[in-house]
Amino acid sequence: MSIRENIHSLRTSLPKDVSLVAVSKFHPADNIQEAYDAGQRIFGESRAQELVLKKQSLPEDIEWHFIGQLQSNKVKDIAPFIHTIHSIDSLKLIEEVEKQAGKHGRIIRILLEIHIAREETKAGFTEEECKDLLSSIHLEDYPHVLFGGVMGMATYTENTEQIHQEFHRLKVLFDEIKSIYFTEKKGFNVLSMGMSSDYKIAISEGSNMVRIGSNIFGERI
């Protein structure tokens, strides 16, 4: 199917409360434009330089999400326009987002990345590290950062029961830290989990934001 048909199929099959991030990393701007023309508005990129270049040639109302590992020195490149950063895995990065967003008078939404997979290559806070971080900071010290939720990636495996368990753990953590640290903060409402291979499982476990690339754009060449 075409990109337009893939977008239409996904948008009609996803529950209404689940946001679709079209993972456009490594795909050309023309493909993003085709998805945009089909009604998609949220796109995810993983390299700051590539994202900056693409933004220059694409519609202004695109909601750009950064989904890859982000180096602190790259935050300044995307701070003028980025909507959400999914891959926050350190206090240092939070502080840099606050600094750079403040320079532009913006508020940038962040998601805390949680390591739920049984793969050492995956990044993110452990569950305890996440709770320790939130216990140690004052949210009022970050007026230009919106703590929007959490993100996690399950193990790449055909063991669907394991994937269910990992996503379930993240949902439990999300509910726990929301009830403890964000009872007065309405913006903490995103549970970003699920990609092309496992998004249906993620949704069944409570995800309300999925990041889908190959099911829209095809495999990278």
Q: What is the mean pLDDT of each run of 10 residues along the chain (221 residues)?
A: 95 96 95 97 97 97 96 97 97 98 98 89 88 96 98 95 97 97 90 97 98 91 54
pLDDT at position 220, please?
66
pLDDT at position 122, please?
64
> What residues does each domain of the chain span?
3-217
pLDDT at position 221, please?
54
Q: Token pair for residue 79?
A: 């701070």
The CATH code that applies to domain 3-217 is 3.20.20.10
Contact 107, 145 (CB under 8 A): yes
pLDDT at position 212, please?
97
- Kindly list the distances between the CA atom of residue 72 and the CA atoms of 33, 48, 52, 178, in Å, as whole numbers in the listed order: 29, 11, 16, 26
Which residue in 2, 3, 13, 4 sits closest to 210, CA to CA?
A: 13
DSSP 125: B
